[in-house]
Structure 1
Amino acid sequence: MLRIAALASNNGSSFRAIAAAIDEGRLDAAVVSLVVSNRSNASALDHARARGIATLHIPTKGVEDAADEMLRDALIAAGADLVILSGYLRKLGPKTLSAFQGRILNVHPGLLPGYGGPGMYGRRVHQAVLEAGEAVTGATIHLVDAEYDQGRIIAAEEVRIDPSDDAAALEQRVMQAECALFIQTVERIAAGALSLPL
């Protein structure tokens, strides 16, 4: 059984999609064992609690080193095989990265290596893509390392941009692609088609 821990700062859309796939039996070889947020009011925590999933709030502002150690220890205690970032808007520290090297995945709302890096998340990515006049965008699953959006790409899915798209409309379509791609990637890991560490 693949034990997943999810990190989310807000809604945690891809975590929710993975949890739903588990509940529906589409991901029957995986379980979410812990959800962690740097924000105590993150709706991802409420969603996890409603499903009986253990939750933890670890504040990070001004206490990055202590938070890094707490997160590493919590992930180890939860028996996490795989850590997924679902809109987690904090850089991970060296202790967590070292303990889970090759086992931390993030989903980015664009086709990396373009439109990534510090400050490029959520609707900001979609606005930048539209302003650049791109015809295609998408979602990327990548390994997490010490730099934003720099880890090795594991999977990507293209999303065509319609001439009528604004950032909000594009965000909704890309989010659907993100969730589906993350579920597919977790399925491949759970089935042994992708071996951890990646």
Structure 2
Amino acid sequence: MFKIAVLISGGGSNLQAIIDNIENGYLNCSIECVISDKKDAFGLERARRHNIKTYVFDKKEYGAELSYRILETLENKVDLIVLAGYLSILNWDIIKKFKDKIINVHPSLIPSFCGKGMYGIKVHEKALEYGVKITGCTVHFVDEGTDTGSIIIQKAVEVKDNDTAESLQKRVLEQEHRALSEAIKLISEDKVHVNGRKIIVKDM
């Protein structure tokens, strides 16, 4: 069984999509644990409802030790770490130990509207401010930079003339739910191969 850990900071709707896709048979994997950097993240309640082990490593409490605690908890226990709305930055040690085994979903078509300070509703505000006609989401491997890892999957979303940041965020989130599970499925079936910055997806 392919084993994953899911890291969250908030409501956990991407986590819920993964849980749903495991339960409906789309994903042949198990969530070994859910880790949050916030004690009051609703995603923790989602995990508990499905009897998934949870850990809280509050970033205010652990500070620079946060990534070490996560590494200590997950090393040799999971095949993939999934960042599903996780807002803390992982340090180089855990990224090195889990090279090409950490993925993140970002609410834009990278390299647009990404990097330092670009998260949550801010991303969609910037997309509307710039006037793009197409936005979307990106699932990528995590490297030592911020949103700079190799791209696995992207989903496009049309920007409507009457969109607000909130309405755009909602439609992009729907695609995040699809893209993240698709990426997990491909990786779990050994169909994702890294060739420098380029990702080769086989048998799609």
Instruction: Provide the TM-score with structure 1 as the length reference.
Output: 0.93
> Are 2:32 and 1:33 equivalent residues in the alignment?
yes
- 1:68 deviation in Å? 1.8
> Are 2:26 and 1:12 equivalent residues in the alignment?
no
Q: Is the 8 A contact 1:64 1:93 kept in 2?
A: no
- 1:62 deviation in Å? 6.2
| Unaligned runs of at least 5 residues, structure 2 | 200-204
Q: Give 1:1-198 correspondences, 5 Å limit.
A: 1-27=1-27, 29-61=28-60, 63-76=62-75, 79-194=77-192
- Tell me, what secondary structure is at the counterpart of 2:93? helix
Question: How far apart, CA to CA, are the structure 2 residues paired with 1:18 and 1:187?
Answer: 10
Question: How far apart, CA to CA, are the structure 2 residues paired with 1:11 and 1:144?
Answer: 22
- Per-residue CA shift, 1:16-75, capped at 9, x if unaligned? 101110011111x21111100111111111110110001000122363332222110111
- 1:144 deviation in Å? 0.9
Question: How far apart, CA to CA, are the structure 1 residues paired with 2:193 and 2:44?
Answer: 29
- Per-residue CA shift, 1:56-100, capped at 9, x if unaligned? 0012236333222211011126x1100010111110022211211
Q: Is the 8 A contact 1:49 1:55 kept in 2?
A: yes
- Tell me, what secondary structure is at the counterpart of 1:63? helix
Question: How far apart, CA to CA, are the structure 2 residues paired with 1:61 and 1:97?
Answer: 21
- 1:179 deviation in Å? 0.8
Q: Is the 8 A contact 1:83 1:103 kept in 2?
A: yes
Q: Which has the higher contact order (CA 8 A, sep 6+)?
A: 1
- 1:119 deviation in Å? 1.1
Q: Which amino acid aligns with 2:162?
A: S
- Tell me, what secondary structure is at the counterpart of 2:64? helix
Question: How far apart, CA to CA, are the structure 1 residues paired with 2:96 and 2:150?
Answer: 16
- Tell me, what secondary structure is at the counterpart of 1:164? coil
Q: Which consecutive segments of 4 or more residues in structure 1 shift more than 3 A?
A: 62-65
Q: Which amino acid aligns with 1:181?
A: A
- 1:120 deviation in Å? 0.6
Question: How far apart, CA to CA, are the structure 2 residues paired with 1:157 and 1:66?
Answer: 34
| Number of equivalent positions | 196
